[in-house]
Structure 1
Amino acid sequence: MTTFADSLLRLRNAFLSGKSRPVEFRINQLNFLIRLLQENEAALLNVLYMDLHKSRFEAMIAEIGFVRNEAIYTLNNIKSWIEPEMVEKSFVTKLDNCFIQKEPYGLTLIIASWSHPVQLVLMPLIGAIAAGNCVVLKPSEVTANTAALLGKLIPKYLDHDCFAVFNGGPVETRKLLQFKFDYIFYTGSSAVGKVIMKAAAEHLTPVTLELGGKNPCYIDQSCNLESTAHRLTWGRFFNSGQSCVAPDYILCTKEVQEQLVPAIGQCLHSFYGKEPKESPDYGRIVNDNHFKRLQKLLSSGGVAIGGESDDQDRYIAPTVLVDVKESDPVMQEEIFGPILPIIIISCMEEAIGFINRRQKPLALYVYATNNKVVNEMLEKTSSGGFCSNDNLVQMTLNTLPFGGIGFSGLGMYHGKFSFDTFSHRRACVLKSSGMEKINSTRYPPYNDHKLSWLLWATDVKKRDCNCRLL
């Protein structure tokens, strides 16, 4: 039986041989990944339904189609991304070739979460392939059916020497982390992110941590109630709320709440019918542990909508909680489920203060037709991503970086940002061996004439920025 050590040695030797570096190899692997998605669409949809009761619609837009678009976007741009990046030169380097070379880190480890078990494995893989790395993939054991299928498909489509899938739980992950990797990319909880970072520190391995947190949603009195209710309801209950970028709680005035709650109720009826449990478009909680955790959170505040649950089916109804206090259990952790608490505030300034005294979130949402409100929320808060009058969509544009800040993450990816994440930017200066007369001015014995010349030659001139110094 092949051990971790044997597999990692095979992958590292493949990287050292240069196999993964030619752009033709990278393009071929990306094309094979697209074929994997196309030829196994039905099987992927089936395991996503088995693990999360995920509808075909949600699976296609957030998993299979999302990854395919990322791979095609990368194929369309990879040749320009890998080109050396020329830089501005000083007087003394005018005749030198100065540039940034993009080179792969080497053997990388990608540890994925379960909420979107296809997307969160394959999206970072696309960036790692494009950058020329060899990769170990660790899908989440929580979505066991999807992990097993990816474990079969990836070795079938991608190069066996350069890519491997290791399935298993926390024990296997801890064993993996004992080995040296050249880069680690992790998606999951902040608590586990600390463990990953600590393990990486043992080998001084750079990391990207895509974590989560409690994403605030401020709803201003100037909002368009109809579109706000529709978009907010869709975003919160998409994938049964099991999304790291879902709105986690609402901040609004009492007056806004009185209009918003019935509007959300109407949207839920429109989306999922009288009985959401019977809707083919409404998912289920991923496992018993998360179901029990979420059940406990239902005791916070008062139930305005929903609240029903079925432990046999791991079903929790779309739920809205009112009269929630900041000290309630539902406000102490990322919900990651179909529960939406509402916190009453008196004004936008109070909402900003509430957001800023908590950990920086992965996403921040504001609903308002008043542009001054939107701009003030944007300027006076900090978050991984920001979106006004909608939610989730900020992560669908591959020309925008996706990632957190502080407690919600470290680093970014999607599109070229994925390529950059998995690439070392190497500073390069190619000099001629001639012109030693000029270079001799930096050699001892030093004198004032040499110093004056070098200071002049290396001087950075200040440009007029139309700013008055105080």
Structure 2
Amino acid sequence: MAAAMVDVEAMMKELRVTYASGKTRSYEWRVTQLKAILKICEHHEHEIVQALKVDISKPELESFVHEISLLKEACKFTLKQLKRWMAPEKVKTSITVFPSSAEIVPEPLGVVLVISAWNYPFLLSLDPVIGAIAAGNAVVLKPSEVSPATSAVLAKLVGEYMDTTAVKVIEGAVPETTALLEQRWDKIFYTGNGKVGRIVLAAAAKHLTPVALELGGKSPTVVDSDTNLKVTARRIIAGKWGCNNGQACISPDYIITTADFAPKLIDVLKYELEKFYGKEPLKSPDLSRIVNSNHFNRLKQLLDDDKVSGKIVFGGQSDLPNLKIAPTILLDVPEDSLIMKEEIFGPLIPILTVDNIKDGISFINSREKPLAAYLFTNDKSLKEEFIRNVSAGGLVINDTALHLAVPTLPFGGVGESGIGAYHGKFSFDAFSHKKAVLNRSFLGDVGARYPPYTPFKLRLLKALMNGNPMELVRALFGW
């Protein structure tokens, strides 16, 4: 339902009442809701695939592998680990509070808002919801209006399978999102671009609401000459054009390689692209279309920039009626061109050349921190330098994008590419408060902590807190 069609304040009151009842905190409720998400994936795969095809003409294989399968695995992993995650963590105490015991108790934050993105509209909607439910929260999901078919399927299936007193889907566009952001939430989780991320952050600041911002950035790919060139090209293609035709936050945004190696890399990229998508890629059923005319025109503007004129070495074809742009490679575009200033989020990839491959690290560090950074090499020292010196949300060596599929790794950005992380235990933690609990005995009450303060008490407390046995003996016996 749209927020304009529902009393948002009444909805929030209902969610607060549900949360206050304690229902969402129980292990049984969390398991029931997670299993409901699994049932949605298993019983409605065709419906979900069709919605993704309508929204972005996503190939069925990509829909299953990149969205449905990843979501199912996230559910199964969470169900398997949930009891352990929920258990209090015992921690050591110090002599200062002896005798005592201490633990860290994870507790839900309360009522949380998840605002999703259009490029992976099924996965990026329900994946954060898995973490919110696992942590014991009540949740409102706001899918992207740019993917209306998937939004409608989510609203329908969540309404049918899940506890709608605690999990709600609100459809709509900017007015609905604005109405939701005016409310006081216990956490807001937003996936999208930096411009809207700043709006979300400003709205959250009014209520001191914590946020997680999953943003984007220009994710670089450094290709060394010491690499398996064929495998490198195929994996770059899979991460770029095999992920929504480049419309993914972790798609390689640009490539850095040496000037003498660039022609070899381009030749293999061309060969593999033609093998994958044919000589007429605009007709390939395995390439997603551009999501809408606004994004199509934005990408065309990047290509029409005078500063990149003549820089296309492969592709460049487009089809406005069908919103298709072919895989396109550009060589040695100027650093101040539009295509190097904006996150591309589409099927275009510039290749920048350097004299020494290590100069690529300096170039990456001269720009905003990306969501992901990739390196292809067999050089151990280069790998170590890349890991040590490149700051990004995540790094992958000799592949692209696959860190997203590892539930034991945090997924998130740094700096301009985001705040916070999720996936697996990190999702549970993202929607939990780690509550410190210290439990003391009535025994061992030390009078030295209480007034009136005396020099003897000061010496005694110093000895205790310094952990020096001889100092303690001297304090006790006045030596």
Q: Same fold (TM over 0.5)?
A: yes
- Which residue in the other structure is 2:284 paired with? 279
Pick one of 440, 450, 453 that aligns with 1:443: 450
Q: Does 1:454 align with 2:458?
A: no
* Superimposed CA distance per residue, residues 337-379 of structure 1 (whole angstroms, 9 cap, x where no aligned partner): 0001111111123211211110000001111111111111111
- Which residue in the other structure is 1:25 paired with? 29
**2:350 is matched by which residue type in structure 1?**
P
Distance 1:460 1:149, change over 3 A: farther
State the secondary structure of the residue aligned to 1:348.
coil
- Which residue in the other structure is 1:402 paired with? 411
Distance 1:23 1:456, change over 3 A: farther
Q: Which moved more, 1:214-223 or 1:87-96?
A: 87-96
Q: Which moved more, 1:440-449 or 1:402-411?
A: 440-449
Tell me the TM-score normalized by structure 1.
0.96
Aligned pairs for 1:170-185 within 5 A: 170-185=174-189
Q: Does 1:166 align with 2:166?
A: no
Aligned pairs for 1:368-383 within 5 A: 368-383=377-392
* Superimposed CA distance per residue, residues 304-346 of structure 1 (whole angstroms, 9 cap, x where no aligned partner): 1110001100000011011311011101111000001111111
Could you tell me how far apart the structure 2 residues matched to 1:444 and 1:181 are?
A: 44
Do 2:358 and 2:382's aligned partners in 1 also have CA atoms closer than 8 Å?
Answer: no
* Superimposed CA distance per residue, residues 173-218 of structure 1 (whole angstroms, 9 cap, x where no aligned partner): 1111110000000000011111111110000000101000000111
- Which residue in the other structure is 1:306 paired with? 315
Do 1:90 and 1:457's aligned partners in 2 also have CA atoms closer than 8 Å?
Answer: no
Aligned pairs for 1:319-358 within 5 A: 319-358=328-367
**1:439 is matched by which residue type in structure 2?**
V
CA RMSD of aligned residues (A): 1.3
Could you tell me how far apart the structure 1 residues matched to 2:465 and 2:187 are?
A: 36
- Which residue in the other structure is 2:116 paired with? 112
Could you tell me how far apart the structure 1 residues matched to 2:87 and 2:193 are?
A: 35
* Superimposed CA distance per residue, residues 408-437 of structure 1 (whole angstroms, 9 cap, x where no aligned partner): 0010000000001100000111223x22x6
Do 2:158 and 2:169's aligned partners in 1 also have CA atoms closer than 8 Å?
Answer: yes
Could you tell me how far apart the structure 1 residues matched to 2:345 and 2:463 are?
A: 59
Do 2:282 and 2:319's aligned partners in 1 also have CA atoms closer than 8 Å?
Answer: no
- Which residue in the other structure is 1:364 paired with? 373
Distance 1:460 1:30, change over 3 A: farther
- Which residue in the other structure is 2:211 paired with? 207
State the secondary structure of the residue aligned to 1:100.
strand
Could you tell me how far apart the structure 1 residues matched to 2:463 and 2:418 are?
A: 44
Q: Does 1:62 align with 2:69?
A: no
Q: Does 1:252 align with 2:261?
A: no
Q: Does 1:292 align with 2:301?
A: no
**1:377 is matched by which residue type in structure 2?**
F
Could you tell me how far apart the structure 1 residues matched to 2:467 and 2:73 are?
A: 43
* Superimposed CA distance per residue, residues 106-136 of structure 1 (whole angstroms, 9 cap, x where no aligned partner): 0000001111000100110000000000001
Shift of 1:460: 6.7
Tell me the TM-score normalized by structure 2.
0.94
Do 1:399 and 1:416's aligned partners in 2 also have CA atoms closer than 8 Å?
Answer: yes
**1:450 is matched by which residue type in structure 2?**
K
Could you tell me how far apart the structure 1 residues matched to 2:427 and 2:467 are?
A: 33
Do 1:85 and 1:99's aligned partners in 2 also have CA atoms closer than 8 Å?
Answer: yes
Could you tell me how far apart the structure 2 residues matched to 1:246 and 1:330 are?
A: 15
Q: Does 1:243 align with 2:252?
A: no
- Which residue in the other structure is 1:34 paired with? 38
State the secondary structure of the residue aligned to 2:255.
strand
- Which residue in the other structure is 1:467 paired with? none
- Which residue in the other structure is 2:107 paired with? 103
Could you tell me how far apart the structure 1 residues matched to 2:421 and 2:231 are?
A: 30
Distance 1:460 1:346, change over 3 A: farther
Pick one of 134, 139, 164 that aligns with 1:135: 139
**2:164 is matched by which residue type in structure 1?**
H
State the secondary structure of the residue aligned to 2:221.
strand
**2:227 is matched by which residue type in structure 1?**
C
- Which residue in the other structure is 1:465 paired with? none
- Which residue in the other structure is 1:468 paired with? none
State the secondary structure of the residue aligned to 2:411.
coil
Could you tell me how far apart the structure 1 residues matched to 2:258 and 2:357 are?
A: 9
Could you tell me how far apart the structure 2 residues matched to 1:106 and 1:284 are?
A: 39
Pick one of 412, 420, 439 that aligns with 2:429: 420
Do 2:250 and 2:371's aligned partners in 1 also have CA atoms closer than 8 Å?
Answer: yes
- Which residue in the other structure is 1:144 paired with? 148
Q: Which moved more, 1:446-455 or 1:148-157?
A: 446-455
**1:449 is matched by which residue type in structure 2?**
F
Do 2:145 and 2:171's aligned partners in 1 also have CA atoms closer than 8 Å?
Answer: yes
- Which residue in the other structure is 1:464 paired with? none
Shift of 1:79: 0.2
**1:11 is matched by which residue type in structure 2?**
L
Shift of 1:407: 0.4
Structure 1 residue runs without a partner (length 5+): 462-470
Could you tell me how far apart the structure 2 residues matched to 1:76 and 1:94 are?
A: 36
Could you tell me how far apart the structure 2 residues matched to 1:112 and 1:452 are?
A: 59
Could you tell me how far apart the structure 1 residues matched to 2:208 and 2:283 are?
A: 51
Q: Which moved more, 1:411-420 or 1:163-172?
A: 163-172
**1:442 is matched by which residue type in structure 2?**
R
Could you tell me how far apart the structure 2 residues matched to 1:43 and 1:215 are?
A: 32
Shift of 1:160: 1.1
State the secondary structure of the residue aligned to 1:258.
helix
